[in-house]
Amino acid sequence: MGEGAGGRQGASYGRVVITGASGFIGSHLVPALAAAGFEIVCILEPGANNSFIGAQTFSADICTARGLSEALSGAKVVVHLAARNHVLRETANNPLAEYRRVNVEGTRNVIRAAMKEGVGLFIHLSSVKAMGEETGGILDETFPCLPSTPYGISKLESEEVVRAEADGKGMAVWIFRLPMVYGPGNKGNLPRMIRWADRGLPFPLVRPDNLRSMVYVGNVVAAIRAVLEDNSAGGAAPRTYIVKDDEDHSTRMVYSSICRELGEVPRFFPIPAVLGRLAGGISEDFRKVTSSFRVSSAKIREEIGFVPPVSWEEGMARTVQWYKRSAR
């Protein structure tokens, strides 16, 4: 199933409302669904002025529910992207409370408003952080969830809210757990690695053989489209799936690929394990880049036949090309 896969005509599914439409994933999802013929309504947070061609926009506050009823009027589908994601420089006195305010209570407000408006399909984007952190094995959907960060705790609780609110109400619910999402426009760790490589700098290596799962943003969009275009999407119990690229990669492999796309020679310098553990204890970002965290997407492949249409190599190439066009 390709990134621009066909299937049923988008317009036949009715109005699709997307929360958090101005975010990274939304900036890719909205134009893709609009081009496919879906009737799109974008919910933007108060003060956001993003405009999308071929889509209606509403300003609504998911934390207070202000504006949600109007934005969801007539909706058949809600794709819930809005969230408080990983914060690089945390300023909140109580980070967990702030994550819960947006990711848990905000999600509760959205799904309750969706229920009130008779929405038939609710797609909720979660995170593999709901399952835990660094691990030596490969996690799947059966793994006991043991989140250890405020963000991960809030995402697990958001999933529980969605399941509880939809229980026995006739709404189809799909929950997608995502690892690190990368692609053009992303502002996370990968762009920082690209900037580092663009300067010709050697990259610090703590564990040369670490492996991490990632997912290209176009593959996330394709997974959402697969649900929207699936005639059997409704009527089942809530479904939870991990969505990821087919292959996992080490930090060495990622940095080497970036350097090749930039025309640079990849260089590295080793860091003693004890210093790596110290840096990881101080910086979650450093730990995310250097440690291992692997998940399996076998379930979504087996149950609905979803195969990520964009390879890791192509996704990485598109991301570096975006950097070369816009960030240099």
CATH classification at residue 153: 3.40.50.720
Neighbours of 1 (CB within 10 A): 18
Which domain range does residue 163 map to? 10-184+214-245+294-309
169 lies in some domain: yes
Neighbours of 201 (CB within 10 A): 12
H helices present in the chain, as ranges: 24-35, 68-72, 95-99, 106-116, 150-166, 189-198, 217-228, 251-262, 273-282, 284-290, 298-304, 312-326
Average pLDDT over residues 291-311: 94
Going by pLDDT thresholds of 50, 70 and 90, the confidence category of residue 278 is: very low
88 lies in some domain: yes
Going by pLDDT thresholds of 50, 70 and 90, the confidence category of residue 162 is: very high
Average pLDDT over residues 248-277: 84
CA angle 234, 237, 242 (to 5 degrees): 90
Condensed to tens digits (0 to 9), the pLDDT of residues 27-40 reads: 999 999 999 999 99
The two structure tokens encoding residue 158:
């958001």
284 lies in some domain: no
196 lies in some domain: no
172 lies in some domain: yes
35 lies in some domain: yes
315 lies in some domain: no
Is the dihedral angle over the CA atoms 134, 140, 143, 145 positive or is it negative?
positive
Give CA–CA dist 238/123, Å, rounded: 10
190 lies in some domain: no
Going by pLDDT thresholds of 50, 70 and 90, the confidence category of residue 253 is: very high
- Give the model's pLDDT for residue 255: 93
Give CA–CA dist 243/300, Å, rounded: 7
**Mean pLDDT estimate for the chain:** 87
All residues at 6 or more sequence positions from 302 whose CB lies less than 8 Å from its CB, including other chains: none
- pLDDT of 12 over the 60 cut: no
- Give the model's pLDDT for residue 32: 94
Rama region for 183: left / alpha / beta (φ>0; ψ in -120 to 50; rest): left
* Residue 247 three-state SS: coil
How many folded domains does the chain comprise? 1
